[in-house]
Amino acid sequence: MRYSELFAPTLREIPAEAEVVSHRLMLRAGMIRKTTSGVYSYLPLAQRSLRKISEIVREEMNRAGGQEVGLPIVQPAELWQETGRWAVYGDEMFRLKDRHLREFCLGPTHEEIITDLVRGEVQSYRQLPLLLYQIQNKYRDERRPRFGLMRCREFIMKDLYSFDRDEAGLDVSYQKMYDAYCRVFSRCGLQYRVVEADPGAIGGTGSHEFMVLAGSGEAEIAFCDNCGYASNVEKTETRPELWQEGLSPGEKELVATPGVKTVEEVSRRLNLSPKDIIKTLFYETDQGPVAVVIRGDREVNEVKLKNKLDCLWLEMMGDDRIRELTGAPAGSVGPIGLKGIKILAESEVPLLVQAVAGANQEGYHYRGVNPGRDFPLDVVADLRLIEEGEDCPKCGSPLGLTRGIEVGHIFKLGTKYSSALKARVLDEKGQEQLMIMGCYGIGVSRTLAAAIEQNYDEDGIKLPLPIAPMHVIVVPVSWQDEAQRSAAETIYQELNARGIEVLLDDRQDRAGVKFKDADLIGFPFRVTIGPKTLKEGKAEVKDRRTGEVQIKKIVEIADYISDIIKEGLRANEN
């Protein structure tokens, strides 16, 4: 292809709206344009990379025994009502009505659709296992769409669902997917980490996330260099720290703390550590309001809280409601004397002997508070976020924290959907058994963004060869120069003939402009034809990722580059 025909409007200035590198660079390289919040158009260069990622995913799903299907995006409410998710999916679901006022949604995921399909067609255990997948747009009305392709409202996902006759079968399917995911992300040339993920209210051990390591990632990962353990902090187990050891209970006493609101302020005023203070947080949940008490220096882990309560949703209570419940503003609230509200205590709270807590009177706290004696501990559980340097739950060594972008998520569903939708098979004895399911997602468009977060420099994008939009750009320093033009045309034709994806920069622009665009878009190889080397029948070959420059005979260049590229791509496929 010729540059003059390419639809890739590059930008020199840095777009103000873009918060992360991948978003900025994809806009600047003319790869994407925003249509509306969280909805993007993919221009040809992005589309090429997305297709390459999809193709790697497809090959690996097929290799693992998956079969590709195409499922509807428009999904009837009835199926979602059957599993109960129509009511609980909430605002993230795009809902619509047809002309008969029947309700539908745009598929945010496909458990309902696929289980419905399979229950109608599969009757015998002999038809299992079954691994079905698709690569398709998904729709989620995210609360905060952001970071370009990272968190969109319309995005591309590969979703695979496994159906097995028993748990042992699920374990096999799950392992196949685990291995296939490792191959996918290795083949994309990414550095990633597999972490244990929160399996949600269903429980069990079966959930892993595939994280591309990047500082801009929204997910936080706890990892142990000693034993290799890694998990999403949402799920990392904590060990309670001993504090106030050996202290004896004392009298509870009311102290005036006018104008003091935060844990910091309370601890400074009373000359105590934040660890001596009990923080009380209020949540609305679908099971009614709850209060969570936690040591002043810790943060609540809402995922653990949700699992402990086994609730479908929860959110922090608003100030007015807190005042209504406690009679005090948020800065003076505490667990003592609360009526008709369940109190969940984080595991470290019962270890406190003489703590400070809000008195539910504006401007007052209690000191000498003894948990259990002065307020009930309805539930005691690990409800907090792990901190850097705390003990690894497996081996006790200090944990590190790092950030990652979740590009894949695999999940043992068990019978959650097969029981709701009555998807059963007959076993050898003619008995009905629920099918055992797993689901496995890869964010294809998010993977492209994550790949750029990991592969860029100050000049632009440097995607790995297997997912770069094109392989080579041929740049004559001056298009007007007859000799340069004809040498460039020759190399271009020869590369094309060898099946290499090559762009000929036939623009009249200055060389500097052309080099900048080449670096910005990130062609793995740039062939530059300039007057000096051309006199000797040579041209320059530059490797975008290493920056290495080689001067090669023009007659040899096509073979030289196509050998490297083919070798690189072949190695990738094995």
- By CB under 6 A, name the binding residues for ligand ATP: 109, 140, 142, 151-152, 155, 157, 406-409, 441, 443, 445-446
Our CB check for ligand ATP shows the closer of 141 and 362 to be 141
Our CB check for ligand ATP shows the closer of 103 and 142 to be 142
Our CB check for ligand ATP shows the closer of 155 and 479 to be 155
Our CB check for ligand ATP shows the closer of 307 and 445 to be 445
Q: Extract the tokens encoding 274.
A: 């934040």
Q: How many CB atoms lie within 10 A of CB 9?
A: 12
Provide the sign of the torsion angle of the four alpha carbons 314, 316, 320, 324, taken in this order.
positive
Provide the sign of the torsion angle of the four alpha carbons 14, 20, 22, 27, taken in this order.
negative
Our CB check for ligand ATP shows the closer of 157 and 521 to be 157
Our CB check for ligand ATP shows the closer of 151 and 235 to be 151
CB 406 to ligand ATP: min, Å:
5
CB 232 to ligand ATP: min, Å:
9
Distance of CA 318 to the CA centre of its chain: 29
CB 222 to ligand ATP: min, Å:
16
CB 386 to ligand ATP: min, Å:
18
Residue nearest to ligand ATP (CB): 443
- What are residue 398's phi and psi, to 5 degrees? -65, 135
CB 198 within 8 A of CB 206: no
Q: How many CB atoms lie within 10 A of CB 94?
A: 16
**Cα(489)–Cα(476) distance, integer angstroms:** 9
CB 411 to ligand ATP: min, Å:
7
Residue indicated by tokens 């259990």: 372
Question: Residue 450: helix, strand or coil by DSSP?
Answer: helix
CB 457 to ligand ATP: min, Å:
25
The three-state (H, E, C) secondary structure of 45-75, written as one string: HHHHHHHHHHHHHHHHHHHCCCEECCCCCEE
Our CB check for ligand ATP shows the closer of 55 and 509 to be 55
Our CB check for ligand ATP shows the closer of 185 and 375 to be 185
Run of H or E including 487: helix 482-497
CB 407 to ligand ATP: min, Å:
5
* DSSP codes, 127-193: G--EEEEEEEEEE---SS-BTGGGB-SEEEEEEEEEEESSHHHHHHHHHHHHHHHHHHHHHTT--EE
CB 468 to ligand ATP: min, Å:
21
